[in-house]
Amino acid sequence: MPEFWSNVGSIFWYTLTIIIFVSYLMVLFNIVIDVFRDRELNGGVRAVWVIALIFFPVITALIYLIVRGRGMGQRAAVQAERNKAAADEYIRSVAGSPADEIARAKALLDAGTISNEEYSRLKAKALA
């Protein structure tokens, strides 16, 4: 029975260690992403942050989060808005308007490809 409890304790500590390590990696990756996302930083400052993260990762991460942590959320929100706007613009460009759908259906009707009933169904579908 004592072996069981020592194994449970080991599993608990290994699990806790893995969770902390993965959290640490996520913080480092988010800091690197934020360094390159910030358009106000010049190349030299970016290089200093990255080199400091490589040689003194824990201290640099803590300093970065204290000094620039508030801006990280703001920059992430701005980037999310840009991505959403780009996706919306792409969807609008691909989807077309109801007038475009009706014009295509009219061209198919004029070419004799579809019948009047099919044209009215496509027109009703585009206007719905």
Structure tokens given for 101: 């759908």
Judge whether 18 lies within some domain: yes
| 84 within a domain of the structure (yes/no) | no
12/58 same-domain check: yes
* Residue 39: inside a domain: yes
Q: Are residues 60 and 25 in the same domain?
A: yes
Select the more confidently predicted residue: 9 or 75. 75
**3-class SS letters over 2-47:** HHHHHHHHHHHHHHHHHHHHHHHHHHHHHHHHHHHHCCCCCHHHHH
pTM of the model: 0.63
- The pLDDT of residue 54 is 94
Q: Please indicate whether residue 128 or residue 19 has the higher confidence score (pLDDT).
A: 19
Q: List pLDDT tens digits, range 112-121.
A: 888 888 888 9
Q: What is the pLDDT of residue 2?
A: 62
Task: Return the minimum-mean-pLDDT range out of 59-68, 71-80, 90-99.
Answer: 90-99
The mean of the pLDDT values for the chain is 89
Angle at 75 between CA 69 and CA 79, to 5 degrees: 150
- Indicate the range of 41-45, 47-51, 55-59, 92-96 predicted with least confidence: 92-96
Domain tally for the chain? 2
Q: Tell me what percent of the residues of the chain surpass a pLDDT of 70.
A: 97
Tell me if 8 is assigned to some domain: yes
Last residue of one domain, picked from the residues 29, 52, 69: 69
Residue 58 maps to a domain: yes
- Amino acid letter at 63? I
Residue-wise pLDDT for 12-30, tens only, equals: 899 999 999 999 999 999 9
